[in-house]
Amino acid sequence: MFVGEYHRSRDNKGRVFIPAKFRENLIGGAYVSKGFDEQCLFLYPKENWKNLGEIISGGPITRIENQRFKRIFFSKASEAEIDQQGRIKIPQNLAEIAELEKEVVLVGVSERIEIWAKDKWEKYSSEAESKFYQDKSNFEKLGF
């Protein structure tokens, strides 16, 4: 399980140092893709990616929405290898989608890691936290 927030810098080759606690779960390989709802990237361990792929591919092939989603999601994905220094290279097309610059934030979100541009993460985090805690019924919706 991935938890925590880590601030990192992309080097001039587009590589990001992965925190040791995250690397432990990425030893068998990883995939990086465009995020679903926000302007960030998803980084999945190979096993979690396989499970996600099975879920996404489980829908009827005749449903046009399923086909559109699969085409877009998988075409924007790339295998990510961790080098000996513990870095992954983020493909340029994905870095552009997430508007990544030098400063990035890696966020543990249970089964995946999200990679955010620092300014976008700070804005999103502040707004989301404020909205969530303002409405106490959000806790009830989660079963608390």
Q: Are strands 15-17 and 87-89 parallel, antiparallel or unpaired?
A: antiparallel
Give the span between the Cα atoms of 15 and 67, in whole angstroms. Answer: 32
Asked if residue 132 has pLDDT above 90, the reply is no
pLDDT of residue 135: 74
- Write out pLDDT tens, residues 79-106: 999 999 999 999 999 999 999 999 999 9
| pLDDT cut 70: percent of the chain above it | 96
- DSSP class of 35: -
Asked if residue 26 has pLDDT above 90, the reply is yes
What does the mean pLDDT of the chain come to?
92
Task: Please say whether the beta carbons of 126 and 118 come within 8 A.
Answer: no
pLDDT of residue 138: 64
Q: Are strands 41-45 and 112-117 parallel, antiparallel or unpaired?
A: antiparallel
2-141 CATH pick, 1.10.268.10, 3.20.20.60, 1.10.3720.10, 3.40.1550.20: 3.40.1550.20
Return the C-alpha torsion angle 10, 14, 19, 21, nearest 10: 150
Give the span between the Cα atoms of 10 and 16, in whole angstroms. Answer: 5
* pTM for the structure as a whole: 0.90
Nearest C-alpha neighbor of 79 from the set 38, 37, 43: 43
| Domain positions in the chain | 2-141
Give the span between the Cα atoms of 95 and 39, in whole angstroms. Answer: 10
